[in-house]
Structure 1
Amino acid sequence: METHVRYLARSPIFETEKAFSTDYPVDHVEGARRTNHEVDDRPVTVSAIEDPSYWKLDVHGFCILHAETHLDPYKKKREVQDAYWYEIEAILHKHFPQYSRIEGFDLTLRKRGPEFPAISRGYRDEFEQPASMAHSDYSQGGGFLTLQYCFPGQDDYWKDRDFDMLKCVTIFLTGVHKRERKEPDQRANDDVWRPLTGPTDDWPLALCDYTTIDIEEDIRLNDAIRRDLVGEGSLLHYNKAHRWYYFKDQGVNDLLVFRNSDPHGKRARE
């Protein structure tokens, strides 16, 4: 597939400012900006994944699971999220038995509006739009900020624990996956994506092979300013070495699992 990927430009502004963005209007504040991002749209080839078993989480930053799930997309999310979380948690326990505990803490619905991507910004109460810029939801520090927000008062509990964070979209699940510490403290963020209905080739998720990313030169930390918290993620600068992939005709029982970050930057992530 020949398409474009929206990267963050290597702008001189980042010599004096940290990258940031908001998800709500700030026009009422004099001199305020919603973001200091400059877009770098690049033509790229996004290849269809031919052999799902080839991709390894600890090598490429993502892997693909096939598992049966039951989710009624026509019910309100609060009516189905607990049962859905249980299914996702059971699937992850089966495929990643090293985790001793899996706990969901967020559920978000994404549905592309008819004006997207021509109009891609703006907060929606009904649903979020697909992400339009190459990114990772959590940086090394951003994972801890999310834990502090979602599990207030539990800093001592998570101290010196090894855990991952996962997410599933078009409904996406974010969770903490804690395992007993068997080596020096290492933390990572994993995501799990699946469509509500399928197969889907409308704005499919594109994944960049971690082995093609220069982590010293290509990654930019970004403050994600929300209505109720400030998080930190990572944005991607263009590099011609990047190799992008997508899962053609992804069905409701096809799950993309990928890692966002780890605190030491030593494990493959997406």
Structure 2
Amino acid sequence: MNENQHYWAFCFYLIHRLMESSIRYLARSPIFEKEKAFSTDFPVDHVEGARRTNNEVDDRLVTVAEIKNSSQWKLDVHGFCLLHADTHLDRKDVYTKKKEIQNDYWYEIEAILHKNFPQYSRIEGFDLTVRKRDPDFPAVMRAYRPEYEQPSSTAHSDYSQKGGFLALQHCFPGQDDYWKDKEFDMLKSLSVWRILAPTDDWPLALCDYTTIDPKEDIRLNDTIRRDLVGECSLLHYNQAHRWYYFKNQGINDLIVFRNSNSHGKLPLGGFHAAVSNPNAKGAPRESVEVRVVAFY
């Protein structure tokens, strides 16, 4: 780090309230000179020579700054923004009746997004994921549970440009003609909530896209599932990255970020990761997230 970078890093420390934590990056492995990055979510031990992934992790200590002014963050500049809106979701039902209640919650989120982003002509929800941190996560990684998932501590964006099309083909089969030649965004809105009060346990950290070098820092990764192959974007470490989190997030504080754009417009992804808060005093984090496609 040169003298000028040291100066601006020092200014960053002075201006923001900081949290020291760790983020799991993708290592800059020489294997990517001959192989595309890939990962699977199922065992392959029964196949001779098969690997579940060629990813190598690069855990880095990072400084995560508190978001003070929520209005300064712009979806089309930083890759994410923050909204405040009333949402209604029964905490018990989200675990036991997810299929029954997800359509109503999609409609609620879609209405909020239409109000705040009038440039979109159509918004469709297609996924609802619930996360509830096991008390011994991340030391112990339990088997997949259909009712909820664990936080993701890997710096990533859910879909690449190609991955957005693959997700649409899977979630909306037979509708290819509708989105042909149309521009769309793959968005995700995340609301962290508790039954009584929000928790400071494992908050979501977001990387300011203006601090990312798209050519050097972003790596496309094939995500191989039992029923489909998708493509996401992973992040290589760069000391220029600046990470932020929403301290004291309430149940009606929404974080919205772009995962990809069909025409490859910047920002290319809202890169995010769950981070351990060394000063956390709250109960294990519970969150619910919705993925939507938004057509211009």
TM-score (norm: length of structure 1): 0.87
| Correspondence for 1:79 | 100
What is the Cα-based RMSD across aligned positions, in Å? 1.4
In structure 1, distance between residues paired with 2:169 and 2:85: 31
In structure 2, distance between residues paired with 1:127 and 1:106: 13
Secondary structure (helix, strand or coil) at the match of 2:64 reads strand
Q: CA deviation at 1:28?
A: 2.5
| Correspondence for 1:142 | 163
Secondary structure (helix, strand or coil) at the match of 2:71 reads helix
Secondary structure (helix, strand or coil) at the match of 2:21 reads strand
Structure 1 residues not aligned, in runs of 5+: 165-188
Structure (1/2) with the larger helix percentage: 2
Q: Tell me if structure 2 keeps the 8 A contact 1:23–1:122.
A: no
Name the CA shift for 1:121/1:259 in 2 (closer, same or farther; >3 Å): farther
Query: Which letter maps to 2:91?
Result: P
Higher Cα Rg, which structure: 2
Q: Tell me if structure 2 keeps the 8 A contact 1:8–1:237.
A: yes
| Correspondence for 1:242 | 241
In structure 2, distance between residues paired with 1:213 and 1:46: 15
Matching of residue 153 in structure 1 with residue 174 in structure 2: yes
| Correspondence for 2:23 | 5
Q: Which of 29-38 and 89-98 deviates more?
A: 29-38
Q: CA deviation at 1:239?
A: 0.2
Q: CA deviation at 1:122?
A: 4.9
In structure 2, distance between residues paired with 1:255 and 1:98: 19
Secondary structure (helix, strand or coil) at the match of 2:260 reads coil
Q: Tell me if structure 2 keeps the 8 A contact 1:24–1:122.
A: no
Query: Which letter maps to 1:191?
Result: K
Name the CA shift for 1:20/1:218 in 2 (closer, same or farther; >3 Å): same
Post-superposition CA distance 1:237-264 (Å, at most 9, x none) = 0000000001011111000011112234
Secondary structure (helix, strand or coil) at the match of 1:110 reads strand
In structure 2, distance between residues paired with 1:108 and 1:244: 23
| Correspondence for 1:41 | 59
Matching of residue 193 in structure 1 with residue 190 in structure 2: yes
Greater relative contact order (CA < 8 Å, ≥ 6 in sequence) = 2
In structure 2, distance between residues paired with 1:256 and 1:110: 15
Post-superposition CA distance 1:130-181 (Å, at most 9, x none) = 11210011001000000111111111110111222xxxxxxxxxxxxxxxxx
| Correspondence for 1:183 | none
| Correspondence for 2:266 | 267
In structure 2, distance between residues paired with 1:28 and 1:127: 27
Query: Which letter maps to 1:78?
Result: K
Matching of residue 207 in structure 1 with residue 206 in structure 2: yes
Matching of residue 18 in structure 1 with residue 36 in structure 2: yes
Q: CA deviation at 1:120?
A: 4.0
Q: Which of 115-124 and 11-20 deviates more?
A: 115-124
Secondary structure (helix, strand or coil) at the match of 2:262 reads coil
Query: Which letter maps to 1:134?
Result: A
TM-score (norm: length of structure 2): 0.80
Instruction: Give the aligned length.
Output: 246
Q: Tell me if structure 1 keeps the 8 A contact 2:184–2:261.
A: no
Sequence identity, in percent?
75
Q: Tell me if structure 1 keeps the 8 A contact 2:39–2:54.
A: yes
Q: CA deviation at 1:121?
A: 7.3
Q: Tell me if structure 1 keeps the 8 A contact 2:183–2:262.
A: no
Query: Which letter maps to 1:232?
Result: E
| Correspondence for 2:8 | none
Name the CA shift for 1:205/1:8 in 2 (closer, same or farther; >3 Å): same
Q: CA deviation at 1:114?
A: 2.4
Q: Which of 70-79 and 1-10 deviates more?
A: 70-79
Q: Tell me if structure 2 keeps the 8 A contact 1:71–1:196.
A: no
